Amino acid sequence: GNFVSHSLYLHTVEGVWPLPQSFTSSTERYPLNPKAFYFGYGRQSAAQQDCSVLDAAFKRYFSLIFPDYTSGSGDKPFTVEIRVDHADCDSYPNENSSERYNLSVSAGQASLNAETVWGALRGLETFSQLVYQDDFGTYFVNKTEIDDFPRFQFRGILLDTSRHYLPVQAILKTLDAMAYSKFNVFHWHIVDDPSFPYQSRTFPDLSSTGAFHPMTHIYTQSDVRRVISHARLWGIRVLPEFDSPGHTQSWGKGQSDLLTPCYRGSTPSGTFGPVNPVLPSTYQFMARLFKEVSSVFPDSYIHLGGDEVDFSCWKSNPDVRAFMQKMGFGGDFTKLEAFYMEKIVNITSALKKTSIVWQDVFDYHERIPKDTVLHIWKGTPASYKEELSRMTKAGMRVLLAAPWYINHIAYGQDWRNYYTVQPLNFSGTEEQKKLVIGGEVCMWGEYVDATNLTPRLWPRASAAAERLWSDEKQTSSVDEAFPRLQDFRCKLVRRGIRAEPLHVGHCKHEYQGV
Amino acid sequence: MSIRTIMLIMLIAGTVRAVQASQYVSLWPLPQKVKILDLSFKLTSFNIVDAKESSAGSSCSLLQDAYRRYYEYMFGIAKRQGPRKSRLTGPSELTELQVWITSPDSECDGYPSVTSDESYELSVDLPYAVLKAPKVWGALHGLETFSQLVYEDQYGAVSISDFPRFAHRGILLDSSRHFLPLKVILANLETMAMNKFNVFHWHIVDDQSFPYLSRTFPQLSQQGAYHPYTHVYTPADVKMVIEFGRLRGIRVVPEFDTPGHTQSWGKGQKDLLTPCYSGSKPSGSFGPVNPILNTTYDFMSQFFKEISTVFPDAYVHLGGDEVDFTCWKSNPDIQKFMDQQGYGQDYKKLESFYIQKLLDIVTTTHKGYMIWQEVFDNGVKLKPDTVVHVWIGGGANEEMGKVTAAGYTTILSAPWYLDYISYAQDWQKYYKVEPLDFDGTEEQKKLVIGGEACLWGEYVDATNLTPRLWPRASAVAERLWSAKDVTDINDAFNRLSVHRCRMVA
């Protein structure tokens, strides 16, 4: 409303990011006293005390809601009562988990209803963003009615821990910030050409020879477990990617014969190319590695990569050429790549995992299992729209990352570009559009490590977060989004996330501990 | 084997990424003359001491402070990584670095200036290393270089003779578009010293906010800062920055930019800014500083008198850039003044009138001044020791020619606007700049005293300042310090990669 002053308007639901699907807010407000503030389980809730996810969340959200727990005026108690339909406290979030919630704030109490604990987490996040302080430090929350659910089921962030090692703390901090923006998938691009930091139990040589440093720059099994359990408590799925057959230079150091030896004329040149698709030992190795990965990472999805395979090394190798002849592939190396990927997808299918692959696999090949998810990563808007049409027409589920390569920095307010993406603006039927299950913000690591990850990721990734969660029509104006995102960014800063500024200005609470 | 040695061997073997060992080890910026000899040494129970013949002794707090700081850099890191073991088995042990200030006046308790002697000689040979410098400023640079050698611990005796190519090597930070907490400013001064930068150009106020707490006019920050308590620089804060800089050989040059870029000044100083008109009535908004009122110059006199006592450097930067004439044009009093002065419609003349009076005021405070290029371009009469700051992107080379042809000293920033980020290794384009690459005589080129890397604050605050500025600014550091022919970009990449890791540590 025009007659509500700017800062007051942000104290209502408009101050929540991403914007909930439907809401009514009011200027009627209630003071909150941290000394008389309680979280509780409703009598009809399937989840009760000892629900690990929610008990942990209550503790976390208390500090987030009352950042300087000193002031407290009035003695009116306020209770946030949670009611959850399914007590899935000990499970992991999955691709079908409902994140729907209903939040109703009135005098002395808030009712938060959700189907699952994951929905309750989303509702708690929203509630924490509704609480604000006046100039004297008193906490308030306005009368509000919210019905919310995500537009897309899969809202991910990709981190690349191969181009630069990211310490576990940096990953955990990123998970926290993801939860504040309601991201729900951590796509861990854990290994690649430059380094192999994943310490495998089955093949310890992979990291001992392939990591930047075998002790200081690895993820032990316990590190990985820590990331997965921290993510679970935030309702975030951890999707591992073991990209092959390209992007595997670092794998060859600890696994001889895995990579294809390149030839110069008739002699090996000493360099290596993609994974060698002609040796049975390759598939034995992959089967054992993916068996381990499947048990270490509980999510039912796994990302197999399959992008940017350079054929020149395969071409140069006489054994590979001979294999091509034998298989009747002629001179078409895309057929060899397809052959390889098919075998890998079969391995992971047998392990009861659903595979996600980069779009290259689809572009080069038609025979992929129907439930494989395709990941669009390249091209101009015109070309990725075409790709969306083609893939969904073929009945395949799709994830969109192409417009959200936020590692590509530029001067000025580029968050606007990420905000204005229209994921379903391509030619296709309603049925086709349902196959777009979500999108991903990618932070590739060529120029990123722990020294600059956080300001580069936030709040720009939050722009995409709203695009993936909220109703597109209600969030089509960049000008309306700007003050909300600026305010949300200050919330992130106050919560200890070094989110960079959108433009000139200041936050009321900054630099405590900088 | 210690972790450091492992990394070292991998470094030398060239198997770690694409970084290879430079023949200049990893010194940054590259000294003018470096000779590496074949002996090897080991550091144990090491001390940094004043040489007996030095004109600076234990009373020189600047040096004592530096010894402690550099000791911590060199051995603090080692302590964190476990006991050091040299991979070389030579029996030679280096026990101390002697610092010898050779000039009778060490300048220990003084402030650095544009004419300071920053040269030094370092010879690392047994039984002790000697750092010789005419003044403490050179000694600080020598300590930095020595600490860079020790970081590696892999080679032996060394003989270095060094001095900067350009005397003015600066970084501009903007604390108006976003307030920068003290900690960030001090951390930045520390990093500047590691890169041998010697001028902190503090663009302290501007349109958006006025964080400088003035003794004479406290309402300026009271009304003009983002917040009068949490987002201001008190006199104590300012003193701290100045002293912290001094101890590192860094000049602090404040910029109080007028007559444009002054929106925030008008909040606490009524009648300072020009009221804009909409037809015949004031529109409610304000423009640049009002050049026709006597009160303006009374204010500026008092204000710059304070500034001249607060900031000890011989120069202040007076700005003078991007003055928008529309508001002046709309104001009837100003139109009348223009007629009276016979300026016609040429508002550049009015701008010059203002600047002239400002420069005269500042001259009475015994400060030299630096100004952005527009002031020169608009034909203002400048004192001979004025420093002209070239910043406009297109045509910077011609501008350098013009300014030096007119006999003024100049500094270059145009190719070094580091706030303009882009994807990938843009440090290379900053490194490739050659400041003297313009048409002019040798005499003219001598007037180019250096340059500055600018980090304007529209999109920068404490959350992202450090990774945005470094190590990209290091490319500028070497361009301004090292010899003209140090241009091998591959060697630079190798050394800069190590230098960057050193800064992170």
Closest residue to A501, CB basis, from B178, B184, B467:
B178
Please, which pLDDT band fits residue B158 given cuts at 50, 70 and 90? Answer: confident
Which chain B residues are within 8 Å of A501, Cβ to Cβ?
178, 459-461, 463-464
For residue B148, give how far its alpha carbon lies from the nearest alpha carbon of chain A (Å).
21
Q: For the residues of A368-434, what is the DSSP string, one character each?
A: --TTPEEEE--S-HHHHHHHHHHHHHTT-EEEE-GGGBTTS-BSS-THHHHHT--TT-SS--HHHHH
| Nearest Cα to Cα of residue B169 among B141, B144, B139, B198 | B198
Interval B220-239: pLDDT, tens:
999 999 999 999 999 999 99
Between chains, do A409 and B421 touch, taking CB under 8 Å as contact?
yes
The whole-angstrom separation of Cα B184 and Cα B173 is: 11
Between chains, do A194 and B424 touch, taking CB under 8 Å as contact?
no
Closest residue to A447, CB basis, from B208, B226, B424:
B424
State pTM to two decimals.
0.91
Q: Which residues of B are catalytic?
A: 322
For residue B283, give how far its alpha carbon lies from the nearest alpha carbon of chain A (Å).
22
Interval A270-288: pLDDT, tens:
999 999 999 999 999 999 9
Q: Tell me, what amino acid is at B122?
A: L
| Nearest Cα to Cα of residue B210 among B175, B173, B236 | B175
Q: Above 50 in pLDDT, residue B12?
A: no
Interval A319-345: pLDDT, tens:
999 999 999 999 999 999 999 999 999
Question: Would you state the pLDDT for residue A346?
Answer: 95
Q: Above 90 in pLDDT, residue B7?
A: no
Between chains, do A499 and B463 touch, taking CB under 8 Å as contact?
yes
Interval B51-92: pLDDT, tens:
999 999 999 999 999 999 999 888 876 555 544 554 444 556
Instruction: Express as a percent the part of chain A with pLDDT over 70.
Output: 97
Structure tokens, B494: 């190798």
Of all residues in chain A, the one with the smallest CA distance to B420 is A411
Catalytic residue status for A99 = no
Between chains, do B461 and A501 touch, taking CB under 8 Å as contact?
yes
**Which residues 6+ apart lie within 8 Å of B346 measured at CB?**
none
User: What is the rounded average pLDDT of the residues B205-209?
Assistant: 98
Question: Would you state the pLDDT for residue B78?
Answer: 58
A201 CB within 8 Å of a chain B CB:
no
Q: Above 90 in pLDDT, residue B466?
A: yes
Interval B86-96: pLDDT, tens:
444 455 677 88
Please, which pLDDT band fits residue A50 given cuts at 50, 70 and 90? Answer: confident
Between chains, do A504 and B177 touch, taking CB under 8 Å as contact?
yes
Measured CA to CA in angstroms, residue B390 lies from B251, B378, B382, B406 at distances of 20, 13, 15, 14
Measured CA to CA in angstroms, residue A484 lies from A17, A383, A404, A466, B446 at distances of 7, 32, 20, 11, 52
Of all residues in chain B, the one with the smallest CA distance to A501 is B459
For residue B60, give how far its alpha carbon lies from the nearest alpha carbon of chain A (Å).
32
Which chain B residues are within 8 Å of A514, Cβ to Cβ?
181, 183-184, 462-463
**Which H or E element spans position B236?**
helix B235-246
User: What is the rounded average pLDDT of the residues B280-288?
Assistant: 96
Which chain A residues are within 8 Å of B226, Cβ to Cβ?
505-506
The whole-angstrom separation of Cα B457 and Cα B184 is: 13
Question: Would you state the pLDDT for residue A366?
Answer: 60
A416 CB within 8 Å of a chain B CB:
no
Question: Would you state the pLDDT for residue B73?
Answer: 87
| Nearest Cα to Cα of residue B505 among B87, B7, B24, B159 | B7
Compute the mean pLDDT over every residue in chain A, rounded to the nearest whole number: 94
Question: Would you state the pLDDT for residue A123?
Answer: 98
Structure tokens, A112: 């938060």
User: What is the rounded average pLDDT of the residues A58-69?
Assistant: 91
The SS3 assignment for B420 reads coil
The one catalytic residue in A28, A308, A431, A480 is: A308
The whole-angstrom separation of Cα A52 and Cα A57 is: 8
Which chain B residues are within 8 Å of A215, Cβ to Cβ?
3
B16 CB within 8 Å of a chain A CB:
yes
- What ipTM does this complex have? 0.88
Question: Would you state the pLDDT for residue A276?
Answer: 98
Interval B292-319: pLDDT, tens:
999 999 999 999 999 999 999 999 999 9
Compute the mean pLDDT over every residue in chain B, rounded to the nearest whole number: 91
The SS3 assignment for A125 reads helix
| DSSP type of residue A19 | P
Between chains, do A510 and B227 touch, taking CB under 8 Å as contact?
no
Question: Would you state the pLDDT for residue A1?
Answer: 35
Which chain A residues are within 8 Å of B462, Cβ to Cβ?
510-511, 514
Radius of gyration of chain A (CA): 24
Phi and psi dihedrals of A145, rounded to 5? -135, 115
B240 CB within 8 Å of a chain A CB:
no
In total, the C-beta contacts within 8 angstroms joining chain A to chain B are: 82
Closest residue to B420, CB basis, from A411, A504, A511:
A411
**Which residues 6+ apart lie within 8 Å of A174 measured at CB?**
A157, A159, A186, A453, A454, A457
Bridge partner list, B133 = B101
B419 CB within 8 Å of a chain A CB:
yes
Of all residues in chain B, the one with the smallest CA distance to A502 is B459
Between chains, do B421 and A514 touch, taking CB under 8 Å as contact?
no
Q: How far is CA B301 from the centre of its chain?
A: 27
Closest residue to A504, CB basis, from B208, B467, B468:
B208
Of residues A8 and B414, more confidence is placed in B414
Between chains, do A410 and B421 touch, taking CB under 8 Å as contact?
yes
Of all residues in chain B, the one with the smallest CA distance to A500 is B463
The whole-angstrom separation of Cα A271 and Cα A250 is: 12
Question: Would you state the pLDDT for residue A75?
Answer: 72
A213 CB within 8 Å of a chain B CB:
yes
Question: Would you state the pLDDT for residue A6?
Answer: 60
For residue A107, give how far its alpha carbon lies from the nearest alpha carbon of chain B (Å).
33
For residue A182, give how far its alpha carbon lies from the nearest alpha carbon of chain B (Å).
22
Closest residue to A503, CB basis, from B179, B226, B458:
B458
User: What is the rounded average pLDDT of the residues A224-230?
Assistant: 97
Question: Would you state the pLDDT for residue A220?
Answer: 96
